[in-house]
Structures are given as structure tokens and as C-alpha cells.
Amino acid sequence: MTARPLDGLRVADFSWFGAGPIAGNTLCSFGAEVVRVESLAKIDSLRVGHPFAMNSDGTFKSGYNVSGYFNNFNAGKLSIQLNLNTEQGQELAYRLIEKSDVFLTNFTPRVIDKWNLRYEQIASINPGIIAAYAPMQGLWGPHKDFLGFGAVLTPVVGISEMSGFPHRPPFGVGTNYPDYVINPGHTVAAILAALRHRNRTGRGQQIELAQIESVVSVLGTAVPDYLANGTVQTRAGNRSPIMSPHGAFRCADDPTSTNSPDRWVVISVRTLWPEVCDVLGHPEAATDPRFATFEARKADEDALEAMIGTWTALWRAEELAAALQARGVPAGVVQNAQDLLDKDDHIRERGYYQYLDHPETGRSAYDGVVARLSETPGYHAAPAPLLGEHTFDVCERILGLSPDQIADLMAAEVLV
């Protein structure tokens, strides 16, 4: 296997759900040995979250190891079952942290206190540890023990207020968006910065990444607009103050698209309106005084969008997007998961998705690495672990326990 830039780094991953494990997944894909600490006493609910792998008869598989949601975010990690509600479990956690370079968690301060995993406690046994805490509202403040997911953060930070149509309630972004991109990305950047500092000084440190503060940074111009102009930005649908038309337009249905035959193309125009009209077979609209200028199009966007929608409905989405792009018009197909996996020539040519063989789900596609390094490329060395798959290996190889000690701890329900 090709050397990876984080080879030799060990991460004690005490996180769960999305934001924490995805950060650990990035470190793992670039070579870190990530030990995922799990327990039946507090199972990661992503292990029981759909989508599940399916049997040959069309029924869903069952158990803790068949969630595509969980597996995609934990490729290549080691899984140890460790009951942190026990004193012996906490002692073993300390032993793992002592042998690690990075500690990672996104539990609330209340849970951190319960398990005795505060920074001053773990730094006393490993002064060089990089301890990354990423609770939703931070380690202090009046809301420090509030918990939630990306779907909670999007309204809290103002994203939902700007998502949707002005005549409808706030819609949000449809996924737990902050969990997948912003928070894990910022967490990884902070960990790498702290590791660089340790390499120069020998000193570890605590990282506090309050997810609410991480996510609020993606509001774009909303906060400066309020500060400068007193304007509170709100929902505008797909429209843009500087482009018109700017939106998603229905195309002809595609019966080969599984469960989603409706197809759409997005179009964004400022000055290339004549090109759009020409491609869509209505060159006369380019000089129609109702739509000829940007200002005129903005003045009656309802009529503009309705007209374009009648034109695009006659086109296959892929053909229309290609025709518009050929004339320099920013346009693209609104793709779904089937498109990305089966139809997108660019994604396929670049080999983004990595297919791995999992003992219970079979061959599955995993998200690829977040960046390509020319000299030390990242990759997934293994599929996601079964629950507790590496308990014996971690206890023996890393924690230094004997087989008899491991058996006793399992019997005492410490390693569960």
C-alpha cells in the first residue's frame, strides 16, 4: 500500500453520529489509525439508521452492521466496545488516550463530565494529546448542554430562514448539511494545526469547536448586510439579486430514473439571455421588451420563469444542459444519487467513489477522500468495522492486556 501522510498517527475516536466520525474518517483515509470507541450501553444511532443493505429477496438486512449511513462515515476504522459507564471502562479509556495522539469527541459537556474525559483529566495522563471537543453549543455558555444534529443547527444559525420560498415556511437544506461538510472540515483543520504546533513545540492542547460557531460562518453576506444596511435577508427561493433567470426548470421526465422520473436543469443568466433564447428555440424572446434587459426580467420573474418552464419541459435534461453549456451559459442537471453513481461520466472517469467489500453488506460504494495528494494520496484501507470487531486486537496490541484479562473484562460487561 502507498504511504499516506498521517501514517503512524493514532486517534482515539469517542464521537458519534455525523460530525465527529466524519472528521475521524478524513484522518483515517489519510493514514491515521482511528480507534472508534463504541458500546451497546450507548449505541451510535447511525448503526440503526437507514438506508440498510438489502437481501436478495428485497427485504432489508438487520443488525448493527448494515447501515449504509454509518458504514460510509467509518471506513477503515477499528471498533472497540467499551462501556464508559463503568469505572474500569473509564480506566481503559485513559489507557487508550495515553497511547494516542488525538482525542476526538462531539458529546455534550454533560456526557464528558460523566465519563471523566475533560481536557485537564486526559492531559494529566498524556500531556501531548491533541484533544478536540466539538459539542453543538461549545463547552461553556448558557446553552452548553443543548444537543442536536445538523437539522437543528440549520435553523439555529439562520440557514433555514434563508432556505425556501418567501410565501412558504422556512424549509432548510433537506439534509443534516453541517454534519457532513462544515463541522468535520473545520475540526480536521484545527487538529492538523494543533499537530503542527506540537511538532514544533512538543506541547499538546485542547481544541474547542462549538458547532454553532463553525456553521454560522457559512451565512455569506447575511450578517454583513444586516450590519451595514440593517437588512435581514430571508427566503428568496432560487432567485438571485444579480442574475435572472436564476433557478431550476422542469424538463421531460426520464422513465429510467429510479423512483424519481422528474428531471430539472438549473440555469443562471446575467448577460447571455439571447443565447438561452436561441438554444430553446425562441430567439424572438431576446428582444421582447418584457425580457430583453436584466432589469426587465427582474421586474416580472414570475412570468419569465413560467415561460422558460414551458420551453424546457420539451427537453431531456442532459441534452439541454449540454446545449446551454456549449453556448457559454451556466447550466447543469439537477442530479440524484443514481446519476452520480451510474450516469455521471466525469465522476466515473475520476474514480471518486471507492468500492469496498463489507462482510455483511457486500460490495458497496463509499465516499472518496476529500482531496487528492500527488505524493501521498489517501484511500480507504478497509470497509467500516463491525461493532466491536477489533476489541480483542486493540486491547491486546494497544492497551497491553492479556487474553485472560480481556475475557474477564468481557464477562464483567466492561467490553460491551
DSSP codes of every residue in 4-41: -TTTT-EEEE---TTHHHHHHHHHHHTT-EEEEEE-GG
Under DSSP, the state recorded for 315 is: S
Whole-angstrom distance, CA of residue 282 vs CA of residue 374: 48
CB 123 within 8 A of CB 33: no
Set 145, 179, 339, 393: catalytic member: 179
- In the block, residue with C-alpha cell 499537530: 195
The residue type at 336? N
The residue type at 180? Y
Whole-angstrom distance, CA of residue 6 vs CA of residue 354: 20
- Of 64, 78, 91, 3, which Cα lies nearest the Cα of 34? 78
Q: How many CB atoms lie within 10 A of CB 364?
A: 18
DSSP codes of every residue in 162-178: GSS-TTS-----SS-HH
- Catalytic, 179? Answer yes
- Of 125, 52, 139, 142, which Cα lies nearest the Cα of 91? 125
Name beta bridge partners: 247.
Answer: 267
Strands 130-133 and 263-268, sheet pairing: unpaired
Q: Within 13 Å, how many C-alpha atoms sit on residue 345's CB side? A: 1
Catalytic residue ranges: 179
